[in-house]
Amino acid sequence: MSIHDETEADTRAERIDPVLAAAGWGQNGSKVRREVICPGRIQSGGTRGKGLSADYVLIHKGQKLAVLEAKRAGVSHRSGVGQAKDYATRLGSRYAYASNGLNWYQIDMTTGAEGDMVLPFPTPDELWERTFATRSAWRERFGDVEFETDGGKWELRYYQHNAVNAALEAVAKGDRRILLTLATGTGKTSIAFQIAWKLFQANWNLSGEPTRRPRILFLADRNILADQAYNAFSAFPNGAITRIDPGTIRKNKGVPRNASLFFTIFQTFMTGEGTPVYTHYPPDFFDFIVIDECHRGGAKDESEWRALLEYFEPAAQLGLTATPKRKNNADTYAYFGEPVYTYALRDGIEDGFLTPFKVRQMASTIDEYVYDGTDDVVAGEVEKGEGFTESDFNTRIVIQERELSRVREFIGQMDQRQKTLVFCATQDHAALVRDLINQVKDSNNPNYCHRVTADDGAIGEQHLRDFQDNEKTIPTILTTSQKLSTGVDARNVRHIILMRPIRSMIEFKQIIGRGTRTYDGKDFFTIWDFVKAHENFNDPEWDGEPLTPEPPNGPRTPPQRPEPGDGPDDPGGDDPEDPTREKIVVKLADGTVRKIRYIASTSYWSADGKPISAEEFLKRLFGDLSGLVADEDQLRDLWSDPDNRERFLEQLSDRGYDQARLNDIRQLINAPDSDLFDVLSYVLYTKPPKTRHDRAGSVIDGGVPDADSDLKALLVSILNAYKLHGESELAAGKLSSYLIARFGSVNEGRVRLGGLPAIRAAFRTMQRELYAE
């Protein structure tokens, strides 16, 4: 067989695999495996963008030492160099290789040295020595401990593997302050578990000798976070895990000591009878401490929590955070140092591990308010001409009709069956919004919407647990002030409603993270922004580059006074209400209520990590379409054939224009009842779009070509479905469904209509007529 006849599978099996086996790969604990790096960006209709898979990942002692990209023997061995470098960068591998089985190319990702190489291929031990010039006994001991995957039921994602190894490498070097920065929803608790697992199984401890199990403390600032972590560590042996809480302390008549993993919250640790609970342990009791959500106050100089961490100064301390270094959490980075590994929100979205989102920017005529004497002042004092901006509402002034108009706006546009979080200005505001939602909802369930704030205590915690349970649909909506901005592991959140200004970039990212967790059938989630929080996307501190702010056109006038939010982010609870200051309560006159109007615009998360409007998508679509089709005739030819049309739509999807976004562009040009062909023709050639009804009607009225009565009736039924539901009804795969619906089976339809070739030919001829002009 000529090398030009070989497939890539042939080259791998007959040329590359034997070379790796001869070098000892796949033997004596080393591993060779094909790795799915990421599944690809989540798109509409349950589809995904292009995923990434490495042909060979070479693993030794728990480290991914090299990536090898294979190509068939008939092409250049250098064809895979770009992929190999990309994959090695993602996986944190020192070496990248490319080969066609005949020739080999090597890249050192650390020094940048690269070039052709001659065989033999390096052995696992040789590659280990090249990767790690400095020996470390603990690195090798950690490598000897397999990851805990529940018997292979799941695998670490590539970035989780990188984070675990980066933290353990820091431990092996003797570092005592370690920071991991990973976006919300990427599995920081799972990462902490794997780190603890390896430390535990390797008998690492502060003595430097593997003589005993470590004592590991997991610190959180909320019970729900500590509970989630405690449950996630169930693979550890019975008796290895304990809680440090008032009940356990009372039962033991003192703090628990006989365990390896301890879980508690800061509030418990810092209280106690006489002296704080944490002082009941010697300063060197814990070997390793994990501080969850460490940006929320644990490292602040002025915080009591800082005293706690400094008390346990001998321990190695690992901070987990979702927020990159910012002015509001600089002290966290000053305490822990720069992160040993970072995985950003936009990386998670583009890789397909997090759910993308769109932002509905809601501007209204009552975003600001000036008292003119016509409205009723129910409580408090206000002078004529006094003005109020977003930061004043529900803190200084309450206008119930304004809040009701906002509730009606989002409730009327969203699917009311989908789980939703509403962020309000205060706990009182959260109660008001809860009541308004329950007054206007379609559901007849009295528990449809509940408030979860600090004041709601145990009953609020139960509402939250019910909300997090994906098997339960009630409560469907939760209102809150600060309490749910972090640590809520609810995977099926579809809407986030912002009804208060966002205090800081840290808080903004945390709130966005409430919706990014993936769930079956969840293509995106929607942020309903009533408070101009979308302007945070234009900040250089967001994941993307800064953009020029483009607020929606409408009646809103930008506030002249600065909004709050320049101070430190909230330490974890709800804002205390100020009982000493009477709030102004205004009831709007009927005429004022009738004048309230809303204008909305939508933006999306683009492929390059930036928020982008539908108008910008339109411009990009024009450019990308121009590169795919030469002229209108070619577009018509592509679209008229169902197979070519499907391939063309796949090309558009790969470029970031999935069905949902194309449908939004259909709305943008005011052609909701038009075929997507007409939308694309308008974008490219400014041709006035026809409706699907007009296109189908012209074919039906002209006589469906080359069809007898039964066949014509079938084609007319397809065209009628097309008028209602669009071009998806014309896909080649739909034809059998129509035959079954009309004749009971495909075979009966074939007999009645003269055979499948004739049916398919008529189906295609009808589509050529449909798009003839």
- Over residues 468-483, the pLDDT tens digits come to 888 899 999 999 887 6
Size of the chain in residues: 773
Between 178 and 602, name the one with better pLDDT: 178
Q: What is the mean pLDDT of residues 691-702?
A: 85
Give the list of residues 6+ apart from residue 231 with CB closer than 8 angstroms, or none. none
pLDDT number for residue 543: 54
Helical residues (DSSP H) of 132-216, grouped into ranges: 137-144, 158-173, 188-201
- Of residues 28 and 709, more confidence is placed in 28
* Strand 477-480 to 357-364 pairing: unpaired
Query: Please, which pLDDT band fits residue 565 given cuts at 50, 70 and 90?
Result: very low
The Cα 127–Cα 187 span in angstroms is: 30
pLDDT above 70: residue 728: yes
Report the candidate in 714, 709, 722 with the shortest Cα–Cα distance to residue 759.
714
Most distant pair of Cα atoms in the chain: their distance: 94
Residue 242 β-bridge partners = 262
Task: Pull the structure tokens for residue 526.
Answer: 């929607």
pLDDT band at 109 (very low <50, low <70, confident <90, very high): very high
Residue pair 426/573 in contact (Cβ under 8 Å)? The answer is no
pLDDT tens digit string along 277-303?
888 999 999 999 998 877 555 545 556
**Can you tell me the mean pLDDT for 364-391?**
85
The closest alpha carbon to 278, from 297, 306, 318, 301, belongs to 306
**Short-list 572, 553, 669, 577, CA closest to 621:** 669
* pLDDT of 544 over the 70 cut: no
Q: Which of 17-31, 336-350, 419-433 has the lowest mean pLDDT?
A: 336-350
Comparing 68 with 469, the larger pLDDT belongs to 68
List residues bridging with 369 in a β-sheet: 388
Query: How many angstroms separate the Cα of 34 from the Cα of each of 54, 56, 57, 128?
Result: 6, 5, 6, 20
Average pLDDT rounded to a whole number, residues 105-111: 95
pLDDT computed for residue 35 by the predictor:
87
Residue 545 scores a pLDDT above 50: no
Q: Are 535 and 549 in contact (CB under 8 A)?
A: yes
Q: What is the pLDDT of residue 563?
A: 34
Q: What's the token pair of residue 543?
A: 């994941």
* C-alpha span between 154 and 315 (Å, rounded): 31
User: Residue 723: pLDDT band by 50, 70, 90 thresholds?
Assistant: confident
pLDDT in tens, 750-761: 888 888 888 888
In one letter, which amino acid is 677? F
23 neighbors 121 (Cβ within 8 angstroms): yes
Range in 93-97, 436-440, 564-568 the model is least confident about: 564-568
Please give the single-letter amino acid code of residue 324: P
Q: Under a CB-based contact definition with an 8 Å cutoff, are residues 100 and 116 in contact? A: no
pLDDT of residue 610: 59
Q: How confident is the model at residue 376 (pLDDT cuts 50, 70, 90)?
A: confident
Q: 18-27, 32-41, 564-573, 618-627: which has the highest mean pLDDT? A: 18-27
- Residue 568: which pLDDT band, with cuts at 50, 70 and 90? very low
446 pLDDT band, cuts 50/70/90, is very high
604 in Cβ contact with 612 (< 8 Å):
yes
Give the span between the Cα atoms of 281 and 137, in whole angstroms: 30
d(CA 402, CA 585): 12
Average pLDDT over residues 668-687: 81
**Phi/psi at 735 (nearest 5 deg)?**
-60, -45
- Using 50, 70 and 90 to split pLDDT, how confident is the model at 601? low
Beta partners for residue 605, in sequence order: 611
Query: To which residue do tokens 């190509």 refer?
Result: 71
Residue 540 above 80 pLDDT? no
Q: How confident is the model over 669-694, as a mean pLDDT?
A: 83
User: Any idea which residue has 């570092």 for tokens?
Assistant: 175
The edge-to-edge listing of strands for the beta sheet with 419-423 is 449-451, 477-480, 419-423, 493-498, 525-529, 357-364, 598-605, 611-613
Helix, strand, coil shares of the chain, percent, nearest 5, are 40, 15, 40
| Span 147-171, average pLDDT | 88
Distance from C-alpha of 668 to C-alpha of 145, rounded to nearest angstrom: 56
Q: Give the CA distances from residue 483 to residues 77, 453, 547, 648, in Å, rounded to whole numbers and listed in that order.
A: 56, 6, 31, 47
DSSP secondary structure letters along 625-685: HHHH-SSHHHHHHHHHSHHHHHHHHHHHHHTT--HHHHHHHHHHTT-TTB-HHHHHHHHHH
User: Using CA atoms, how far apart are residues 744 and 68, in angstroms rounded to an integer?
Assistant: 52
CA separation for the pair 46, 212 (Å, rounded): 49
Q: How far is CA 745 from the centre of its chain?
A: 43
Rounded average pLDDT over 338-365: 85
Residue 150, pLDDT score: 78
3-class DSSP state of 422: strand
> Which pair of structure tokens corresponds to residue 278?
């944490």
Q: What is the pTM of this model?
A: 0.73
Q: Following DSSP, what letter does each residue of 434-469 receive, concatenated?
A: HHHHHHH-S---TTSEEE-SGGGHHHHHHHHHHHH-
Residue 108 reports pLDDT greater than 80: yes
- Residue 385's pLDDT band, with cuts at 50, 70 and 90, is confident
Q: With 60 as the cut, is the pLDDT of residue 556 above it?
A: no
pLDDT value for 710:
80
Dihedral of the alpha carbons of 535, 540, 542, 543, in degrees to the nearest 10: 140
Which has the minimum average pLDDT: 1-5, 512-516, 720-724? 1-5
More confident site: 414 or 332: 414
Per-residue pLDDT, 580: 52
How much of the chain, in percent, has pLDDT values that exceed 70? 83
* Residues 57, 67 contacting (CB under 8 angstroms): yes
Residue 111 DSSP code: T
CB 681 within 8 A of CB 773: no
Which residues lie across from 52 on neighbouring strands? 38
Residues 430-436 have a mean pLDDT of: 92
Q: What is the Cα 220 distance to its own chain's centre?
A: 23
* Phi, psi of 101, rounded to the nearest 5 degrees: 85, -20
Q: What's the CA gap between 597 and 590, in Å, rounded?
A: 14
**Mean pLDDT along residues 82-91:** 94
Per-residue pLDDT band for 603 (boundaries 50, 70, 90) equals low
Instruction: Check pLDDT > 80 for residue 76.
Output: yes
CA gap 681, 238 in Å, rounded:
66
Q: Name the residue with higher pLDDT: 363 or 668.
A: 363
CA distance 629 to 562: 49
Token pair listed for 115? 């070039």
Q: Which two structure tokens, joined as six digits, stand for 226?
A: 């500590």
Q: Specify the pLDDT at position 608.
A: 55
The whole-number average pLDDT for the span 195-206 is 94
Place 450 in a pLDDT band, splitting at 50, 70 and 90: very high
How open is the CA angle 163-168-173, to the nearest 5 degrees?
Answer: 130
> What's the rounded Cα separation, in Å, for the pair 212 and 209?
8
Mean confidence (pLDDT) of the chain? 82
* Per-residue confidence band for 707, with pLDDT thresholds at 50, 70 and 90: low
Helices 158-173 and 137-144 meet at what angle, rounded to 10? 140
Q: Write the CA distances from 474 to 135, 189, 226, 523, integer angstroms.
A: 56, 27, 24, 22
Say if residue 382's pLDDT is above 60.
Answer: yes
Alpha helices in 33-187 (DSSP H): 81-91, 124-131, 137-144, 158-173
